[in-house]
A = this chain, B = another copy of it.
Amino acid sequence: MLSRSANTVVPVVTIHANFGAAETSYVGGQQIHGEGEWANRVYEVMRGAVRNYKTLSDGRRQICAFHLPNDIFGWENGPTYRFTAEAIVDTTVRVVRRQNLEYVAATNVQVTHSLLSMTTRNLEHAENQMMLLGRKNSLEKVAAFLLEMDRRLFGTDVLALPMTRRDIADYLGLSVETVSRELSQLRARGILKFTETSQRQIVLKDRQELQALNS
């Protein structure tokens, strides 16, 4: 049972029918689970995209991760979800009850090991994001974002971004306007272009140059 992870190709659990999995669909904008709610379920994205975020009391938002097809999310060690998870676009997920997964993990060292691998990859991503948030400037942030999406939305010439500029901004610790300006700058420099149909469809014309901007 292997599954392609967000970042690398490593063995990882897939939520399997054996665990009592069921599919559920959400429309764009719909909440899948809320920060602080009981963490009863674990999810695997089948189609669509999910944003995982925290908010401060005054509404400031930090998106910690985007989940794309084959990503697993909602696995918690503690009793409650540390995030809100929302479908960005129409999304289908496979759901498994947490206790079923825990039941298997308690006895099966391989499943536990897979969960450990998954958590470690999430940690690596978070660590890279800390460097990005703490020490990169706005152009470097946007370049890194594009390269990440290019890697994860593989297999297509055009990056069909599911998320809004606001989502990108809240992922990179920027304002919407700054994201837009840096994208415009990259377009002006010939590093990318938008398709005729949409501003959310981006073609990377010079990945090397993007890579160079990513420090």
> A residues touching B (Cβ–Cβ < 8 Å)?
54, 56-58, 60-62, 64, 76-78, 82-83, 105-109, 112-113, 115-117, 119-124, 126-127, 129-131, 133-136, 170, 172-173, 215
Contact = CB atoms under 8 A, between A and B. Distances in A.
Contacts of A133: 130, 133-134, 173
A82 B188 CA distance: 35
Given A56-B215, A120-B77, A130 B135 contact: no
B215 A134 contact: no
Contact of A126 (B56, B105, B108, B130): B130
Given A109-B109, A112-B116, A123-B126, 12 more contacts: A56-B136, A64-B127, A64-B131, A77-B120, A78-B124, A106-B113, A119-B120, A122-B123, A129-B130, A130-B130, A130-B133, A134-B172
Copies in the complex: 2
Contacts of A120: 76-77, 119
Nearest to A135: B60
Nearest to A174: B134
Nearest to A119: B119
A96 to B, nearest CB: 17
Nearest to A120: B77
Contact of A82 (B122, B127, B136): B127
